[in-house]
Amino acid sequence: MTKAELIGVIAKDADISKAAAAKALEAYVKTVATELKKNGKLGLVGFGTFSVIKRKARTGRNPQTGDKIKIKAKKVVKFKPGKGLTDKVK
Which CATH number is 65's domain given?
Answer: 4.10.520.10
Q: Are 24 and 35 in contact (CB under 8 A)?
A: no
Q: Are 69 and 61 in contact (CB under 8 A)?
A: yes
**Spatial distance between the Cα atoms of 11 and 17, rounded to a whole number of angstroms:** 6
At 90, the pLDDT band (50, 70, 90 cuts) reads confident
46 and 11 in a single domain? The answer is: no
* pLDDT given at position 23: 97
Domain holding 10, by residue range, is 1-39
Write the CB contacts of 30 (distance below 8 Å, at least 6 apart in sequence): none
**Spatial distance between the Cα atoms of 51 and 37, rounded to a whole number of angstroms:** 10
49 and 21 in a single domain? The answer is: no
3 and 44 in a single domain? The answer is: no
**Average pLDDT, stretch 46-70?**
94
* pLDDT given at position 87: 94
Please tell me whether residue 23 adopts helix, strand or coil conformation. helix
On average, the pLDDT of the chain sits at: 95
68 and 33 in a single domain? The answer is: no
**Average pLDDT, stretch 7-14?**
96
